[in-house]
Amino acid sequence: MIAADGLRWILTLVFAVPVGYGLWRLALPATNLAARVDHALHAAMGALMAAMAWPWGMDLPAVPQVVVFTAGALWFVAAAPFRAGDRSRAGAVMAAWPHALMTGAMAWMVAAMGSSGAMAGHGGAGGHHDMPGMDMSDGSGLASMSLAGTGPRTVAGLLALVLAVLGVVWLARALDHARLRQPVVAAGAPVPVADAAFAALEPACHAAMALGMTVMFVLLV
C-alpha cells in the first residue's frame, strides 16, 4: 500500500508501539478478561495496520479481518456499560466510542480495499494490478494505490479527520499525565517516576495508533 520505503518503516515503528503495549498488558497477571480482549484487539489492529504498509500485507485475507474488527467495534460499545466503574453507563459508552470508531474504521478500510480486489479473498492477487475501485497511479509517490470514487474517498477523508482529532486529544492527554505527575513532593509523599510513565503510556499508545491510521487513510484519498 505504501510505496515510499521510509514511510513504510516509520509507520511500522509507529504501529509497533500499540502492539508492544497491548502484548505487555496481555502478559500482566492483573489484567482482567475484558481488558485482555481490549488489548488483544489493539495489538491485532497495530500488527495488521503495519502489515498493510507493505506489499505482502495486501495478500492477507480480508474477510477474517473485517469480521474480527467489526465484532471488535461492537465489543467496545456493548461491553462498556458493564464496566462503568465510577462513571455512569452513558459515560462509559462515551469513553468507549473512540475505540469502537477506530476499530470500525479498520474494518471499513479492509472492506473497502477488499471489495476492490486489492486484498486476498476478493478476486485480487495482492493488489499489484489496476482494478475497479482502486487508483494505482497516486501521484504523491507515497502510496501505491488509493480509493477511486467520490463516496469511498469522502469516507476515507472524514475518517482521517476524526482519527487525527482523536490522536491529538490522546497525545495531549498523555503529555498532561507526564507533566502533572512529575516526581515532586506533595504533603511529604513523592510521586514515583514509574507512576507518571504508566499513566501517560496508555493514551500515548492510543495516540500512536490513531495518528498512524490517519496517515493511512489520507493516502487512500
Q: Please report the pLDDT score of residue 83 as a whole number.
A: 78
Q: Please report the pLDDT score of residue 122 as a whole number.
A: 45
pLDDT tens profile 1-26: 787 888 999 999 999 999 999 999 99
**pLDDT higher than 90, residue 64:** yes
CB 36 within 8 A of CB 88: no
Q: Please report the pLDDT score of residue 197 as a whole number.
A: 63
For residue 163, give the nearest of 66, 116, 98, 220 by alpha carbon. Answer: 98
C-alpha of 24 from chain center:
17
CA angle 135, 141, 143 (to 5 degrees): 50
| CA gap 202, 199 in Å, rounded | 7
Adjacent-strand bridge partners of 186: 189
CA distances from residue 23 to 2, 41, 96, 103 in whole angstroms, order as listed: 26, 10, 20, 17
Q: Please report the pLDDT score of residue 185 as a whole number.
A: 45
Per residue, what are the HEC states of 162-193? HHHHHHHHHHHHHHHHHHHCCCCEECCEECCH
Higher pLDDT, 56 or 83: 56
According to DSSP, the β-strands at 146-147 and 134-135 are antiparallel
| CA gap 120, 128 in Å, rounded | 11
The amino acid at 4: A
Q: Position of cell 505482502?
A: 56
pLDDT tens profile 98-133: 999 999 999 999 998 877 555 555 444 444 444 444
**pLDDT higher than 60, residue 135:** no
Cβ atoms within 10 A of the Cβ of 137, count? 9
pLDDT tens profile 145-192: 678 778 889 999 999 999 999 999 999 999 888 776 555 444 555 545
CB 217 within 8 A of CB 157: yes
| CA gap 14, 54 in Å, rounded | 14
Q: Please report the pLDDT score of residue 132 as a whole number.
A: 43
**pLDDT higher than 80, residue 49:** yes
